[in-house]
Amino acid sequence: MNKIPYSHLFVADAAFFSETEQAVLLQLLRIRLTSAHIKEFHNTVLDVEFKKIGDVSHSVGKIKAAFKVVPVPEFLSDEDNEISTTIRYAFSLTDDPPYKAVILTSSEAHKLYLENPHFKGSAIQILSGDSATTFVQNLYRQFTRAREQSRMQ
Amino acid sequence: MLLGFIRKIYKEERYYKSMAYTDFELAEDTKALLQNNPDVKCSDALYQMLMGIEDDAIVKVDKAINSPIEILSIEEVTDEVFAAL
């Protein structure tokens, strides 16, 4: 099966995992593995966020399967605002294809991202709740279509 | 002699634990690794098992990163396996 040039990369914060279903994580794993972009960085979570994941419904194993835990890049070592860190990290990913990223968060934290002064431009989207689930499902449909096509060949 | 044997197994187990990591891959990517990198070690039983898995299935692969890479186990990730992670 040909790898799929998905339109966006995913960056998650700790809050996202508190309201995400297991099925969505499995779809995110599938998207990561079938990405035409560097699969290691298609779905990432910063280690500072990963360490905050407490008693969520998903075990760490599922999260680590769907997302790569990455260290905070050096250029963000002086950044002390967690929301700004995630936004600036996501922007750093838009330096390469597909040039767009989605930050997945919780409905509660969503507003904090929108109000952050670093959140500008159109390369980054903030999604939570149903809109996050729908977005992931739409990308996942690209995979199911590609799989059907490859099975018909 | 028995003590020496146990020590050897214990040392090997510690060695593999220290070098092993788990990767999630498409089965076709693991097959490509084995077909294109002749240095990768994988038992015949695991190889045959992998070849029987659909290309687009997700597999959980335990590897030991030594010289060369060694595949220690392969498991198809079904909904049930993912739920148990």
Question: What's the confidence (pLDDT) of residue B33?
Answer: 93
Please give the interface size between A and B, counted as residue pairs whose CB atoms are below 8 Å apart: 32
Min Cα separation B35/chain A (Å): 17
Q: What is the pLDDT of residue A64?
A: 93
Residues of A within 8 A of B24 (CB-CB) are: 29, 33, 65
Helix H or strand E encompassing B20: strand B20-26
A147 vs B24, B56, B79: nearest CB = B56
pLDDT 10s digits, B22-77: 999 999 999 999 999 989 999 999 999 999 999 999 999 999 987 788 999 999 99
Per the CB < 8 Å rule, is A33 touching B79? no
**Domain for residue A2, yes or no?**
no
Is A107 inside any structural domain?
yes
Instruction: Report A:20-49 residues touching B (Cβ under 8 A).
Output: 22, 25-26, 29-30, 33-34
- Closest residue to A1, CB basis, from B28, B58, B83: B28
Among partner residues B58, B79, B83, which is closest to A33 by beta-carbon distance?
B58
DSSP A35: B
The CATH code of the domain that includes A84 is: 3.40.50
Query: Domain limits of chain B?
Result: 20-83
Split into its structural domains, chain A has a count of 1
Residues B45-79 as b or e (16 or more Cβ within 10 Å = b): ebeebbeebeebebbbbebbeeeeebbbebeebee
The answer for B 22-61 residues in CB contact with A (under 8 A) is 24-26, 28-29, 55-56, 58, 60
Whole-angstrom distance, CA of residue A76 vs CA of residue A27: 30
Q: Give the global pTM.
A: 0.87
- Residue range A50-102, pLDDT digits in tens: 999 876 667 889 999 999 999 999 999 999 999 999 999 999 999 999 999 99
pLDDT attached to residue A152: 79
H-helix or E-strand spanning residue A69: strand A68-70
Chain B CB contacts of A147 below 8 Å: 56
Domain housing A96: 9-152
Q: Which residues of A touch B25 (CB under 8 A)?
A: 33
| Residue A4 counted as domain residue | no
